[in-house]
Structure 1
Amino acid sequence: MIQLQTPLSIPFLFLPLLKLMAESLLFSSAESLLGKLASDAFQEASLAFGVHRDLQQMKETMELIRGVLLDAEKKNPQSSALSEWLIQIKHVFSDAEDIVDDFECEALRKHVVNTYGSCSRKVRRFFSSSNPVVYRLRMAHHIQDINTRLAKLAYQRNMFGLQVIDQDTRVVHVREMTHSHVTPSNVIGREHDKQEIIKLLLKDDHGQSLSVISIVGMGGLGKTTLAKLVFNDPIIHACFPLRMWICVSNDFELRNVLIKILNSAPNPNRENFNNFETEQLQIHLRNTLEGQKSLLVLDDVWNEDRARWDELREIIDVGVEGSKILVTTRSHKVAAIMHTKSSNSYLLGCLSEKDSLSLFVKYAFEDGDEMKHPQLLKIGEEIVKKCGGLPLAVKTVGSSLFSRVDEKEWESVRDNEIWNLKENEKDILPALKLSYDKLPSYLKPCFASFSLCPEDTVIFGTGVRMLWGALGLLPPPKAGESMIDATQLLHELWSRSFLSEYEDHGGECRFKLHDLVIELAVYIAKGKFEIIKNHNPKSYKNAHHLTFAANNLLDQTLLPRSLRSITFPRGANNEVFLNTLVSRCKFLRVLNLDFSEYASLPRCIGKLKHLRSLSLLENENLTELPDSICKLQNLQSLILNGCIKLQKLPKGLANLVSLRCLCITTIEPGCPEKEIASLPSLELLGFYQCDNFESLFKGILLHTLKRLTLIDCKSLKTVPFHAIKNLEVLMIFNCNKLESSMGLSNEILDSRLKLLILSDLASLVTLPRWLQGSANSLQSLVIQHCINIYELPDWLPTLNCLKQLEVLYCPKVLSLPDNIHHVTNLKVIDVTGSSELWKRYRPEVGEDWHKISHVNLVWQDYQSENEKELTVKS
């Protein structure tokens, strides 16, 4: 599971900024809650419980307050009264969300009883609840209390002069306008990037009159600086007689952009274009561009409206062959809209540590003074590592230390977060926060959850999707639409350059987060997500999400009743604390007990009816689970892999009607496959170290399952592939008795498989024929540490959707199929550790390189030299 990060020590200076950030999450909470109240399912439930009128009143008052929140965010909440008012709104919205979730839980409980109880008295007794009349009266009282509090808060808005705003018209901070001048000696570490961009600008476009090259990357990377270096290079001067530079930023209104371009072009008559109509402007600009090979730099583009871009392009494309547009943007979507081919989109990377240190020294010391202060330089090396290769972060920190020689000041910067530095508009915090400000409201809570992510770690999309689902961060679908897939939200965050090294393997994606992106998320989520490093209940009394840094803190912490998620420290074994948590925090959604030392869980855990995620990863002392876990009809993920002493799974698994993810390690002799097959929502299923399982899914079908993982199941022999109709991801590791035919022999079935990983399978000598049934779906095929596989079959190129092929540490595979060039969608071939393949297909020099020359990337790990070589074909 994802772990929380080190907390921030934020000085009083930054409190106003924090309040503004908290309010933007508050607005997102209001949007989400109103979406739930408006859903058809909830409307039906509210009528069934007889509280429809009261809930409708709650919804109407919340809509009023939501509009007021927008107006409040336009004002800087300097007064303590306004701040307190916003805190009260946060509390009442939180309580209202708990009420809404409680109704959903009760409706789901009734559904389970009505569906399964009619044929089983045990189920009725198992899910017995309080008198429905008493429940209705109690909930009606809670709703009335919330409505009273909401009405009071809505009335109090008049104290602050707040007005209702129907639409989100908040003005996002805009960075200041840029210019084209640069002093090259002040730029470090970008020479290679400059040459690559120049190559793209000079590349022959085979008669195309106007093409676009984009520089894409997160805020603070130096995209504008790189564009300046290119713009002022003598080669570019010689090649493009007409060069123009404009900073676009938020303003992509056609008339304004035309004026900016004309003002940047030579103007011998000194005309004032501000008085021109759009028609006059386009005529004048086309005349200016006519007959001249030109370079136009559009810096800091945010426009994602393709129609606006097409309108501009029609005007500036005057048919001069070789003219180019150079775009800088944080958005991959912008690059795509502007018709930038993947080969013309340059993803700017971070600086190396060496270049970062050189840049830091330039800004932190007078010329040569660093040699006089070797201890400061040593501290500076540690500071630079925290900047993660972001030039703007390096400059920000270096400038803050300029002319300071007190080691304690340097150590303070090293030991605290960059956000604690005094800021100005050109520094790193405004640069990164600008990207956050531009996020739609439904993405802001998702981004804030990145505060839970560890630094410098590969993150898998599945884990993030489960976390978002458990915390209720996925936006409710609009009328007539299906549930929003979290993969779409991850892709949107990637397109805005929040995710690094993003790879989509089909059915699964993986990525990293820059350290400063995580720190920004922690900064934004402060007050809602907290790490307990010492005993100070006041600091987290209103928190919804807690993680504990040390085991000894479990003895003394008073837990907030409103807690939604909690992460225990490694080695936790305090039973009294766990019992207190379960009995006190009845609205808990996520319980993370990874690497704990509990032998069992309290039976009263079945009362946590709001619980959606329970993770017991690597609990090696766990021997049993209470059957009451199966009362958790809201539970979406149950993680039990690594529980090597678990005697058996709890009885009644089939009652977990919301379960989507189930990962199992157990020493029981057989799998309760009939109960698993009865789970109506199950999508991800994993068996880990289940050494006593010999077969799975005999005589049953799994219609909903999309992902199956089998790891270290040493006795497993048979898994009928045809029993899993809709499987998209299959991963098999170290299951050497498993028949690779998967019960199909030479039979080929149509399948939806997108990702297949076969690892550490000594019995595998060639790929099973059933894989041909995935010809129209398989996107990634990974074969690793299969020491006896000796060939890739001739039918492999029939997998026409294949984008990524990895043959890792398979020494007996000597060649790829001769017709591999027929796989036209193939983007990546990775032959790490397969030395014979590398020799044969080595770029430009391998005897069969021409057969895979259409592949963009070939990567090889030279074990003997302990280094990696990356070859990119332009």
Structure 2
Amino acid sequence: MAESFVFGVADSLLGKLASYAYEEASRAYGVYEDLQRIKDTLSIVKGLLLDAEEKKNKQHALREWLRQIRNICSDAEDVLDGFELQDKKKQVMKVFGSTSMKVRQFFSSSNPLAFRFKMSCQIKEIKDRLDKVAADGTRFGLMRIDDEPGLSVQRRELTHSHVDVSSVIGRENDKEAIIQLLMESNPKGLGDKSPSVIPIVGIGGLGKTTLAKLVFNDKRIDEVFQMKIWVCVSNDFDIRHIIIKIINSAFLSSSPPPSVSISHQEDINHFDIEQLQIRLRHKLSSQKFILVLDDIWSDDRAKWIELLDLLKVGAAESKIIVTTRSNPIASMMGTVPSYVLEGLSEENCLSLFVKWAFKDGEEEKYSNLVEIGKEIVKKCAGVPLAVRTLGSSLFPKYDLNKWIFVRDHEIWNLEQKKDDILPALKLSYDQMPSYLRQCFAFFSLYPKDYIFNVASITTLWIALGLVRSRNGIEKPENIARECIDDLLSRSFLQDFNDYEFNCDFKVHDLIHDLALYVAKEEFVMVDSNTRNISDHARHLSIVENDSLGHVMCPNSKSVRTILSPVEGVGLDNETLLHTWLSRYKYLRYLDLSDYSFETLPNSIAKLEHLRVFILNNNIKIKRLPHSIFKLLNLQILDLSGCTELETLPKGLEKMISLQYLSITTKQSILSLDEFANLNHLQFLAFSYCKNMNFFFSMAHQLTSLETLSLYSCWNLKSLPLHIFPKLQTLIIVDCKMLNMSLNNENTIQKLRLKHLCIGDFPKLLTLPGWIEGAAETLETLTIYKFPNLKTLPMCLTTLTRLKKLYIYDCPQISSLPCDIHHLTSLEDLVIEDCPELCRKCKPQSGEHQPMIASIKNVSIGEPRGQDEERRHQTSKVNL
């Protein structure tokens, strides 16, 4: 299934080849013509890829052809990466070459002539390989398709309105809730003739269509609505086709018997759009109708408004039910909040499973199988179609081994028919653009029920080049966040929590199965059951310590990712580490969390393509090799939790690509010289630096820094805030010796801070006055663990842009500033573990209620569960 990523890889490579930076570099090194030929050939091949994707299951040879293109594109990316690396070496030489003989010696092997010859040979090889596969592609009879229509989407069968009520289990409450919405008056502001639109939204297979059928066929609906219309939209939102379906369905549901209606039904398929809209308006005029638009995929608002305008001829209180998998579509169409369909209870799942797995009454003879069935339905995670899929696969097979096999294997490993759960879910996957399909596949590297950190997963995507700026201005992290929002809108993510400085979420078990299904051999999650890893593997994750002793490393040199996503699972096999470092020189992402050696081998410097290097929670490591400065492409270095690290490596200032740096060290003083040349550094974090007294020994500015986090730096005394002129996010937690006036309070006129979190200051009696300097920009303020703080400063009410205010564990604060209602931008107010303040802000009875009544979201004194505890860890901003 990984062949389906080829289009995205080719598209990404073409984007790089077309960029100004690569064009200039190729001219400088005399390879411009060759790269242009590669770009031209790749454009042709890209046009054939979509046709090949549709035909690959019918022609086995096409799968190998797609794999060859995948390999060529990946190799080409590695070659192009050489341009960036060479440019960075020149930058370092320019700054440090005159004073450092070691640097000159290191880079002497990369002189322009040698580099030009090397690049020319590599590019010629890529061009020859690509020319060959392009020629091979024509022999398969492929057609050139230059647009990506969401890949070949195998639509579900068109739905109808009939349902056997006795076959539906566990949806009675949902049916009653929808019927209640249908009986209510239309919301104000719709106009006399605008029908109310009720969206039902949820992942594929959850039973949205079945629920709509239950409602549609309820006798109460017949009593209330004069006309019932069922239209399955499914494919493109074609206005003409939808109008025809509405007219035909409305004709059939009118008062004459169905047989009479059918015999007199007029052929309107040849009507033009003008004739159709006249006939539609005539048919619906003054009729109180209920219309079900089932299976909506299009987010074209203009088409929806056009259709809605035609439907306004109906009587007042007409209703429309739409079913969709997309939250944005539901929001666009709905006039009332979306009805988010939840999964069935485990009890209802078992009842449904028994219905599909056994003949009537047969389950009483096989109590042992029913017990296994209880375990099988847990795989289904409340999704009825999954229950039906597994139940049907066992009917009427009462072989114990068959049932055990189904119980012990992932759904994606079991045989699937056209109408089963994975094909149903894959419809949503096929609708994604190619870059999003690649991003989604990485969920397969994590265990089920894993709590994903948004920053961590998006960092992975960025490091691998899956998301990139579309205009050279947008930040990749913003585009990656758009990908998260897109997946959330498609109902692929669940339990999404948006905290002060980060977000987390889970992936539905069946969505995880889908990720495994589409990822296949290119993505491997290594556990104790792993025996052989395909040589086509590119992305590995280690999720069990026991797996490291026997796991076989793929021989391919194309491995790009090694992850350690599970806390406490880390590498302790030195031989395996040396194998990784020597074999996988094109690694982009290396995670050695919970690693248990005192040093790293010098060979780490050979990973010249590395973007992300994570070493957090390595409690034994004392030093890093100084050769680490050779990682000029490195953007993220995470040394947090390395409590025995004696000093930062020399040469840190030469790592000019660093954007994110998180440090735990025993050093007492840090020199700004080590950071002065890090012109791209945006995030800097210090945690558990117990000996650190002074933040920097010099007073130069770090002009690119946007986020600064200080956590449990217990001896830190001063913080020169003025050296961070672009600082937007500041987190200071558990730095008990820090002078919070920052020794320069009077010199700070204005701050650009947008987000501020300060906490765990037992001795502090007031909040620092310099907060007022951010009055024009501050959007989020979090304060917690101030046991002696009695009042909030009046300057709080000057923060006119404040959107979110969080107050935790400040037991002596008894009131809010009386002018808090002046904070007209305030949308979220959360107060916890502040007994007197919580009492005064209590809903309905609290005396502060009039002051906070206009705030959109207010949470007062709610119990702090596991999720809340995670939120209170936001000061330790993770990757």
Alpha-carbon deviations, 1:720-752, whole Å to 9, x = none?
444333333333332233344455648885545
| Equivalence map 1:436-585=2 (5 Å) | 436-475=429-468, 477-478=470-471, 485-504=479-498, 508-533=502-527, 539-548=533-542, 549=544, 550=546, 552-553=548-549, 557=553, 559-567=555-563, 570-585=569-584
Checking the alignment, whether the CA contact within 8 Å between 2:444 and 2:525 is kept in structure 1 is: no
Distance 1:816 1:389 in 2: 44
Distance 2:742 2:361 in 1: 68
| Equivalence map 1:374-413=2 (5 Å) | 374-413=367-406
Alpha-carbon deviations, 1:27-69, whole Å to 9, x = none?
1111111111111111111111111111212222222221221
2:49 is aligned to: 69
2:265 is aligned to: 270
Residue 264 of structure 1 aligns with an amino acid whose one-letter code is S
* Deviation of the 1:186 alpha carbon: 3.9
> Which has the larger displacement, 102-111 or 438-447?
102-111
SS in 1 for 2:117: helix
| Equivalence map 1:321-400=2 (5 Å) | 321-338=316-333, 340=334, 344-366=337-359, 370=363, 372-400=365-393
Instruction: Name structure 2 gaps, 5 residues minimum.
Output: 255-263, 869-879
Q: 1:857 to 1:665 in 2, by over 3 A?
A: same
Alpha-carbon deviations, 1:733-783, whole Å to 9, x = none?
322333444556488855454444444443455544444555565554444
Distance 2:512 2:412 in 1: 12
2:206 is aligned to: 221
* Deviation of the 1:151 alpha carbon: 1.6
Distance 2:228 2:770 in 1: 58
Checking the alignment, whether the CA contact within 8 Å between 1:555 and 1:577 is kept in structure 2 is: no
1:4 is aligned to: none
SS in 1 for 2:521: coil
Alpha-carbon deviations, 1:109-164, whole Å to 9, x = none?
22332344356555434544344322222221222222222222111223322233
* Deviation of the 1:380 alpha carbon: 2.9
> Which has the larger displacement, 653-662 or 200-209?
200-209
Q: Does 1:603 align with 2:602?
A: yes
Checking the alignment, whether the CA contact within 8 Å between 1:364 and 1:399 is kept in structure 2 is: yes
Residue 708 of structure 2 aligns with an amino acid whose one-letter code is L
| Equivalence map 1:18-97=2 (5 Å) | 21-97=1-77
Checking the alignment, whether the CA contact within 8 Å between 2:532 and 2:552 is kept in structure 1 is: no
Checking the alignment, whether the CA contact within 8 Å between 1:861 and 1:867 is kept in structure 2 is: no
* Deviation of the 1:844 alpha carbon: 5.0
Q: Does 1:109 align with 2:89?
A: yes
Distance 1:581 1:743 in 2: 48
Residue 538 of structure 2 aligns with an amino acid whose one-letter code is H
Q: Does 1:416 align with 2:415?
A: no
Checking the alignment, whether the CA contact within 8 Å between 1:212 and 1:344 is kept in structure 2 is: no
> Which has the larger displacement, 31-40 or 822-831?
822-831
2:259 is aligned to: none
The structure 1 residue matched to 2:242, chosen from 250, 257, 273, is: 257
Checking the alignment, whether the CA contact within 8 Å between 1:594 and 1:618 is kept in structure 2 is: yes
2:188 is aligned to: 206
Alpha-carbon deviations, 1:187-206, whole Å to 9, x = none?
44444444544454425522
> Which has the larger displacement, 32-41 or 793-802?
793-802
1:177 is aligned to: 158
Alpha-carbon deviations, 1:814-863, whole Å to 9, x = none?
45555555555555444455555555545456565565455565557776
SS in 1 for 2:484: helix
Alpha-carbon deviations, 1:485-528, whole Å to 9, x = none?
32222222222222223344576433222222222222212221
Q: 1:563 to 1:397 in 2, by over 3 A?
A: same
Distance 1:359 1:762 in 2: 57
Checking the alignment, whether the CA contact within 8 Å between 2:446 and 2:525 is kept in structure 1 is: no
Q: 1:36 to 1:191 in 2, by over 3 A?
A: same
* Deviation of the 1:401 alpha carbon: 2.9
Residue 735 of structure 1 aligns with an amino acid whose one-letter code is C
* Deviation of the 1:249 alpha carbon: 1.7
Q: CA RMSD in A?
A: 3.3
Distance 2:799 2:181 in 1: 32
Alpha-carbon deviations, 1:423-481, whole Å to 9, x = none?
22322101211111011112121111222234323322221221112112114524787
1:10 is aligned to: none
- The alignment-based identity, stated in percent, is 46
> Which has the larger displacement, 144-153 or 795-804?
795-804
Alpha-carbon deviations, 1:786-813, whole Å to 9, x = none?
4444444555455455554443444444
> Which has the larger displacement, 27-36 or 783-792?
783-792
* Deviation of the 1:656 alpha carbon: 1.2
Q: 1:321 to 1:207 in 2, by over 3 A?
A: farther
1:7 is aligned to: none
* Deviation of the 1:222 alpha carbon: 2.4
Q: 1:770 to 1:375 in 2, by over 3 A?
A: farther
Distance 1:682 1:35 in 2: 25
* Deviation of the 1:621 alpha carbon: 0.8
Residue 567 of structure 1 aligns with an amino acid whose one-letter code is L
* Deviation of the 1:575 alpha carbon: 2.6
| Equivalence map 1:788-827=2 (5 Å) | 788-793=788-793, 796=796, 799=799, 801-817=801-817, 820=820, 823=823, 826-827=826-827
> Which has the larger displacement, 215-224 or 264-273?
264-273
SS in 1 for 2:731: strand
* Deviation of the 1:293 alpha carbon: 3.7
Q: 1:126 to 1:135 in 2, by over 3 A?
A: closer
Distance 2:621 2:783 in 1: 34
Scaled by the length of structure 2, the TM-score of the pair is 0.88
1:641 is aligned to: 640
Distance 2:292 2:152 in 1: 25
Residue 669 of structure 2 aligns with an amino acid whose one-letter code is G
Checking the alignment, whether the CA contact within 8 Å between 2:56 and 2:63 is kept in structure 1 is: no
Distance 2:861 2:275 in 1: 59
Residue 228 of structure 2 aligns with an amino acid whose one-letter code is R
SS in 1 for 2:233: strand
1:620 is aligned to: 619
Distance 1:760 1:825 in 2: 27
* Deviation of the 1:234 alpha carbon: 5.1
* Deviation of the 1:594 alpha carbon: 0.8
Distance 2:639 2:73 in 1: 34
Instruction: Name structure 1 gaps, 5 residues minimum.
Output: 1-20, 869-874
Distance 2:213 2:763 in 1: 57
Q: 1:818 to 1:317 in 2, by over 3 A?
A: farther
Distance 2:749 2:802 in 1: 18
Checking the alignment, whether the CA contact within 8 Å between 1:749 and 1:773 is kept in structure 2 is: yes
Q: Does 1:142 align with 2:110?
A: no
SS in 2 for 1:807: strand
Checking the alignment, whether the CA contact within 8 Å between 1:127 and 1:631 is kept in structure 2 is: no
Scaled by the length of structure 1, the TM-score of the pair is 0.88
* Deviation of the 1:546 alpha carbon: 2.2
